[in-house]
Amino acid sequence: MLDSVGPAVGVVLAGGRSSRMGTAKAMLEWHGSTLLRRVTGVVERAVDGRVIVVRAPDQRLPELASTVSVREDPEEGLGPMQGLAVGLAAAAEHAGTAFVCSTDLPFLHVDFVRAVLRGFERPAVEGGPDVVLPYVGGFRQPMAAGYRTELAPTVEKLLEAGRRRPAHLLEECHVTQLDDATLLADRRLAGVDPDLDSVVNINEPADYRAARDRPAPEVTVERYGVLATRTGERGRRTIRAATVGEALEQMRLTFDGHIVAAVNGDQIGNDPELPLVAGDSVAFLSADAGG
Amino acid sequence: MSAVAEPPGGYFGRALVVDVSDGSSTTMPLPAQVLRSYLGGAGLGTWLMNELCPVQADPLEPDAPLAFVFSPLVGTPLTTSAKFAVVAKSPLTNLLTDALASSHFALAGKFTGHDALVLTGRAETPTVVLVDDTGVGLVDASEQWGMPAAEAEESIRERHGRRWRAASIGPAGERQVRYATISHDGRHAGRGGLGAVMGAKNVKALAVQGGKRVDLPDRSAVLAAAKDLRGRSFGPATAKYRELGTLSNLLAFNAISTLPTRNFQDATFAEAPKLSAEDLAESRSVARASCASCTIGCEHIYASKGGKKMRVEYENVFALGPMCQVSDPDQVLEASARCDDLGVDTISAGGTIAWAMECVERGLLDATWLRFGDGDALLRVLDEIGNRTGVGDLLAEGSRRATEVVEQGSAAFAPHVKGMEMPGYEPRTMQSMALGLAVNARGADHNRSGAYEADLAGGADRVRGTAEHVRAAIETEDRAAIMDSLILCKFLRGVFTDPFEEWADLLSTVTGWDVDGAELHETARRIVLAKRTFNLREGWTRDDDWLPERFLDTPVELGSGRTATLPAERLRAMIDDYYAERGLDAEGRPPLATSRREPTP
């Protein structure tokens, strides 16, 4: 059996009713992509492995990366605890911990997710926490938190007992809270998300418009090989781009089968919707390797 | 023996076996069934070795054959087809090796009227073997002995006539450096020590000329196919090779932590920009060149500080630059030129030297002058290797044999598989390639596996090998087996959208056979297994399909901060999957009948 199990799984809850937004948040346009595509992409980059989307029964979803799997709430309208139960149960097949978040976090940063998951590595309680809970600006953030996947049966029991709020779960768990100062002690995170905008969520059209009006993240890009020498544009450039596709366009390139992109020198691909976050570097390379 | 009466189009249906001990020769018929099963180049060469090489022969003994193998496409106007394979049992690995080179030697050699020229025996004194369409001659090579290959080639042509084309060894081949090359017109059949095999036969060069032409069943159809392929060869799939050459890999690989540095202790080299194609093209590029019958023109000629002009490829620069931590472009270019003059494989030379530098750093080898980053030391040790003097005599044996002398745990970081030093692809961050390097019949080799294509194309996570990586490695190995046997240059591979079907069409057009993609897939598998069959009889075991310990117990970090590891159990699982997918048994052995199953023409 080949190893394909990462250290943590990402769970994105997409099944909310979006009643205040008036339209499904998962489908909201985001820099040529969609909000759900962005959030799943950011989480996938951070957890180094599998991402599970939990949707409402028959809910339509935007196109997602082929690596993302989708599970369904058995019943609509029971709130995030229902999605959490489904997501953690699915995640438990692959890992002991999961980062769980909602769909409506357009500024979620890869380094925020990593900082939360690192909370499991520095246990304040014997055996480690059950939940690593960001506590940002004086607010608990259970929809951008880390959970032990073995909590799935506990969540189910709480649902059966009619206790449907995340706070009910937290009462049953060992919780490690990460306040602003603790989170920002992570220099990397402090450098790219100093205001902890990772937990900014959008609930109403005005929130969405305001978020969408913000400039895209600042990233650096560099072309290599003939992509650089043909245009005479060598070296790094700083641009603003929320996706690889936006960066590609600004570099006047297209994914024609002969170009690939590597984000932060890591995964290589040609997915224009791959989300970028502040501080990323993107290398555009010739796909025709060899010699 | 007589030739086959009516060979298929593109073939003569015979090989010439020359005993260089006395100049006698025999014609060996190559039945159509064999040709259809093994095509030419590396495939046909493998068949010849299984037929002609005595079991467990010492590669440097007289009876060990050295085959120069052409292919059905040689001599047609199909772009990049003027190539030949040199095939023998390797003195570096003691297993099969095949290496390709190109240009006019392929054309002149085939036009002698043979699909392969095989040398056996040992001449009493240094000799040039002359083969044309009338017969074989042996002439004294004392004038050329000691010359770099390029000088020897020129000398032979001056003495015997400009129509002769020669494949020659340099001084390293004469001294049987175990990774010596055979070269023609500056292009080397580089890997596995074929030059040492030739040197052991006291043969300085094989020179060929001929006027025979093969029959083609439909010459106008071949011309049409050639025109189409030529047009496609100017497209974006070859732009990298045309505009910058393979050296453009260097900076790109550095950006994605796949540039082996300091004997694979690092995967990035801070000074890589100084050696990059992008920089050198601006400051030193003087010309481009092509092999005969090639429309790509991948060879980029650079000038060193002294004005010397040389071809530079990624593998030369990686092996003599980052691997040895040398960043001065003049020193790296000079080292590359020195390898050309001596006739040694740059990859094995760089890998062996980098290993020695690490041994010195660890206090395991008494050659304190041989330090990482010292370009003068690099040049000195290359000369010592080529002349087999000082520590060079040990290093001329290759890193694996050198570890048996140095011991003290030095095998753990010797960068080889099966004795062949590793090319410029970091296996921990390219795990399809890691498998390809481990299981390849030739040893640590990028051209017979090609699995880096999968890692660099994206899709699967390149630092976490899975069954998907195994399938990718098999697919690229199959493609390489066909391209190396037809023979077509791999730099053309991106122009084919449905490669096996398109190659089958080309082969059918040239030969008159009715070949389809499925048959070529089966042919690829047959060739891969035939190599494995040869190795098996020479003593290969499953333990040889493995990577050095360094890659399995030491992680490397990507630019993202993610750690790339290749645990032994993951590599083992991938190898198990590879064996299963290939139809091998649990020990990696081919079923007895498989490699012999041949189609009826």
A156-199 pLDDT per residue, tens: 999 999 999 999 999 999 999 999 999 999 999 999 999 999 99
Cβ atoms of B198 and B178 within 8 Å: the answer is: no
Q: What is the mean pLDDT of residues B438-461?
A: 91
Q: How close A277 comes to chain B (CA, Å)? A: 12
Is the backbone peptide bond immediately before B487 cis, with ω within 30 degrees of 0?
Answer: yes
Q: What's the mean pLDDT in A220-224?
A: 96
pLDDT of residue B236: 86
Average pLDDT over residues A206-211: 96
Read out DSSP for B130-159? EEETTEEEEEE-TTTTTS-HHHHHHHHHHH
Taking the Cβ of residue B363 and every Cβ of chain A, the question of whether any pair is shorter than 8 Å is answered with no
pLDDT(A2) > 70: no
Segment 294-313 of chain B within 8 Å of chain A by CB? 298, 313
The arithmetic mean of pLDDT across residues B320-344, rounded, is 96
Task: Using pLDDT thresholds of 50, 70 and 90, give the confidence band for residue A90.
Answer: very high
**What's the rounded mean pLDDT across residues A197-211?**
96
pLDDT for the residue B290:
87
More confident residue, B291 or B355: B355
Question: What pLDDT shows up at residue A123?
Answer: 63
Residue A288 reports pLDDT greater than 80: no
Which ipTM did the prediction report? Answer: 0.89
Task: Using pLDDT thresholds of 50, 70 and 90, give the confidence band for residue A276.
Answer: very high
pLDDT in tens, B245-295: 999 999 999 999 999 999 999 999 999 999 999 888 888 878 888 888 888
What is the structure's pLDDT at A68?
A: 96
Q: What is the pLDDT of residue B274?
A: 95
- pLDDT class of B5 with cuts at 50, 70, 90: low
Banded pLDDT at A5 (limits 50, 70, 90): very low
Among candidates B248, B462, B562 on the partner chain, residue whose Cβ is nearest the Cβ of A226: B248
- Structure-model confidence comparison of residues A236 and B305, the more confident one: A236
Q: pLDDT, tens digit, for every residue of B191-201?
A: 999 999 999 99
Residue A87 has pLDDT above 90, yes or no: yes
The pLDDT, as a whole number, for residue B459 is 77
pLDDT reading at B203 higher than 70: yes
Kindly tell me if the per-residue pLDDT of B184 is higher than 80: yes
CB contact under 8 A, A289 and B467: no
Cα gap B408→B397, rounded to integer Å:
18
Give B-chain residues touching A266 at CB under 8 angstroms. Answer: 256, 558-560, 562
Q: What DSSP string describes B314-350?
A: HHHHHHHTGGGT---HHHHHHHHHHHHHHTB-HHHHH
Choice between A258 and B151, residue whose per-residue pLDDT is larger: B151
Lowest mean pLDDT among A45-49, B30-34, B50-54: A45-49
pLDDT over 70 percentage in chain B: 98
Which H, E and C letters describe B183-225, residue by residue?
EECCEEECCCCHHHHHHHCCEEEEEECCCCCCCCCCHHHHHHH
519-578 in B: which are within 8 Å (CB) of A? 558-562, 567, 569-570, 573-574, 577
Interval A132-155 mean pLDDT: 97
Extract the tokens encoding B18: 């020359």
Question: What per-residue string of b and e applies to A71-103 under the rule 16 or more CB within 10 Å gives b?
Answer: bbbeeeebbbbbbbbbbbbbbbebbebbbbbbb
Task: With beta carbons under 8 A apart, name residues in chain A contacting B457.
Answer: 260, 268, 287
Question: What are the chain B neighbours of A260 within 8 Å (beta carbons)?
Answer: 456-458
Reported confidence tier of residue A290, pLDDT bands at 50, 70, 90: low
pLDDT of residue B235: 87
**E-only strand ranges, B371-436:** 416-417, 420-421
The reply to whether residue B240 touches residue A226, judged by beta carbons under 8 angstroms, is: yes
pLDDT at A74: 86
State pLDDT tens for residues B379-432.
Answer: 999 999 999 999 999 999 999 999 999 999 999 999 999 999 999 999 999 999
* pLDDT reported for residue B599: 53
- Region of A184 on the Ramachandran plot (φ > 0 left; ψ -120 to 50 alpha; else beta): alpha
Q: What pLDDT is stored for residue A91 in this prediction? A: 96
Mean pLDDT throughout B471-479? 96
Evaluate if pTM is beyond 0.90. yes
Residue A258: pLDDT band with limits 50, 70, 90: confident
Strand partners, A33: A30
Q: Evaluate if residue B309 carries a pLDDT over 70.
A: yes
Q: With bands split at pLDDT 50, 70 and 90, how would you rate the model's confidence at B598?
A: low
Task: Compute the half-sphere exposure of residue B114: CA atoms within 13 Å on the CB side of its CA.
Answer: 29
Higher per-residue confidence, B4 vs A65: A65
Mean pLDDT of chain B: 95
Give every strand in the sheet of B14-19, ordered side by side.
Answer: B24-29, B14-19, B116-120, B66-69, B83-89, B96-102
* Burial group, residue B19, by CB count within 10 angstroms (0-12, 13-18, 19+): buried
Q: What is the pLDDT of residue A124?
A: 63
The size of the A-B interface in CB pairs under 8 A is 126
CB contact under 8 A, B313 and A269: no
Q: What is the pLDDT of residues B76-116, one digit of tens each?
A: 999 999 999 999 999 999 999 999 999 999 999 999 999 99
Better pLDDT: B221 or A15? B221
Distances (CA, A) of B383 to B5, B338, B361: 51, 8, 21
Strands (E), B45-134: 66-69, 83-89, 96-102, 116-120, 127-132
Nearest-CB residue to B560 (from A2, A4, A265): A265
- Encode pLDDT of B487-515 as tens digits: 999 889 889 999 999 999 999 999 999 99
Ranking A209-213, B99-103, B453-457 by mean pLDDT, the lowest is: B453-457
- Measure Cα distances from A72 to A54, A81, B28, B35, B292 in Å: 5, 13, 69, 57, 62
pLDDT above 50 (res A141): yes
